[in-house]
Structure 1
Amino acid sequence: MPKQRITKEMVVNAAFEIARSSGMEQVMVKNIADKIGCSVQPIYSYCKNMDGLRQDVILQVNRFIQEYVAAHINKDDLFRSTGKSYIQLAKEEPHLFKIFILHQRQGISSLDDLYQAETNPQLAEIIADKLHISTTHARQLHLNMLIYTIGIGTIFSVTTPGISADEIFAQQETAYEAFLKQALEDNH
């Protein structure tokens, strides 16, 4: 039987699956080799250092999350359903959610930097149009919900046995209503 050729894609995919099921701290050469079914040598040939492999896994996590959110949003209620999809992600994929939230972000020195890096710039205009508020207020509403969703999603992903999704969604809706009320008041 010929030897299986181990590719970088196979290594990254195995590392992603390990991170998905057990967390990034379990992404180790031995675990990757076991997952692929090979010795550690081919893994070392692609992983001069684990930081590079972890960055590749983070990129794959980010792609997965973008696809997940896109598949779970309601186009008629884009803003609120996006937040709900992140909470659903925290429930269904807690390890990926933690990796997404907790990975190091370079070049972020303000909340504005975070907003620019983590959101679609056109979304504030869509929110403004839908809610009949200024783009500035829509952007602030969006940032407030981004911060809130990251926080409550993180709590949701690390609690055992777990807070009910209904309780989390209700709390998220309460926050949305409060932030929206503030945006509407500030808009006038």
Structure 2
Amino acid sequence: MPKQRITKEMVVNAAFDIARSSGMEKVLVKNIADKIGCSVQPIYSYCKNMEGLRQDVADQVRHFIKQYLAAHIDKSNLFSSTGKAYIQLAKEEPYLFKIFILHQRKGISSLKDLYEREANPQVAIAIAKELGVSVSQARQLHLNMLIYTIGIGAIFSVTTPGISADEIYTQQERAYEAFLKQALETIDFAERNLI
């Protein structure tokens, strides 16, 4: 029987599967070799260092999450359904959610940088149209909700036996109402000062 040719893709996919089921801390050369069914030597030939492999896994996680969110959002209710999709992701894929939250983001020195890199700009435009606010105010509302949702999602993903999704959704809705009220008050204040 000919030997199986181990490829970099096989190594990264095995590492992703391990991270998905057990967390990034279990992405070890021995565990990858066991998953593929080979010796550690081919793994070392693709992994000059574990940091590079972990970055490849984090890239694959980002791609997975992007596809997951696209499949779980309701385009007629983009804003709310995106928040719920993040929470659902935290429940269904807690290890991937943690990797997504905790991976190193280089070149970020402000929340504006983070928003521009992580958020879909179409969401702010849709929010602005739906609520009758400026795109700038919609971005701030969206940023506030992203920060809140990722924070509560992180709490949700690390609690045992677990907070109910309904409780999380209720809290998320309260935060949305508070952030929306703040955005609308900003509009009212600006309009009053223009008169």
TM-score when scaled to structure 2?
0.95
CA distance in 2, matches of 1:89, 1:123: 19
Rounded to whole Å, the distance in 2 between the matches of 1:181 and 1:95 is 34
In structure 1, the residue matched to 2:192 is none
Runs (4+) off by over 4 Å? none
- Amino acid in the other structure paired with 2:58: I
Give 1:102 shift.
0.4
Report what 1:18 is aligned to. 18
Query: Which moves more between the two structures, 178-187 or 18-27?
Result: 178-187
Mapped partners of 1:171, 1:6: distance in 2:
47
- 1:33 partner amino acid: A
Shift of 1:146: 0.6
**Corresponding residue for residue 37 of structure 2:** 37
Indicate the residue corresponding to 1:126 in structure 2. 126
The CA distance in 2 between the partners of 1:58 and 1:71, in whole Å, is: 20
Counterpart code for 1:134: S
The DSSP-based 3-state class of the residue aligned with 2:121 is coil
Question: What is the aligned partner in structure 2 of residue 86 from structure 1?
Answer: 86
Quick one: distance in 1 between partners of 2:89 and 2:169? Answer: 12
Residue 53 (1) aligns with residue 60 (2): no
Q: Which residue of 1 aligns with 2:144?
A: 144
CA contact (8 A) 2:24 2:99 kept: yes
Residue 110 of structure 1: how far off its partner (Å): 0.8
Q: CA deviation at 1:149?
A: 0.5
Q: CA deviation at 1:122?
A: 2.6
Query: How far 1:66 sits from its partner (Å)?
Result: 0.3
What residue in structure 2 maps to residue 168 of structure 1? 168
- The alignment covers a number of residue pairs equal to 188
2:91 is equivalent to residue 108 of structure 1: no
Paired position in structure 1 for 2:158: 158
Q: In terms of Rg, which structure is larger?
A: 2
Instruction: Supply the AA of the counterpart residue of 2:96.
Output: L
Distance 1:82 1:161 in 2: 25
State the alpha-carbon separation in 1 of the partners of residues 174 and 187 from structure 2. Answer: 20
Distance in 2 (CA, whole Å) between partners of 1:154 and 1:79 is 19
Aligned-pair Cα RMSD in Å: 0.7
C-alpha separation between the residues in 1 aligned to 2:131 and 2:33?
Answer: 52
Deviation at 1:106, TM superposition (A): 0.4
Q: Which amino acid aligns with 1:178?
A: A
CA distance in 2, matches of 1:122, 1:2: 51
Deviation at 1:120, TM superposition (A): 1.2
How far apart are the structure 2 equivalents of 1:13 and 1:64?
A: 12
User: 1:182, CA displacement in angstroms?
Assistant: 1.1
Identity of matched residues, %: 79
**1:62 is aligned with what amino acid?**
R
1:75 equivalent in structure 2: 75
- Structure 1 residue 169, shift from structure 2 partner: 0.7
What is the TM-score with the length of structure 1 in the denominator?
0.98
Deviates more, 1:118-127 or 1:40-49: 118-127
1:54 aligned counterpart, secondary structure: helix
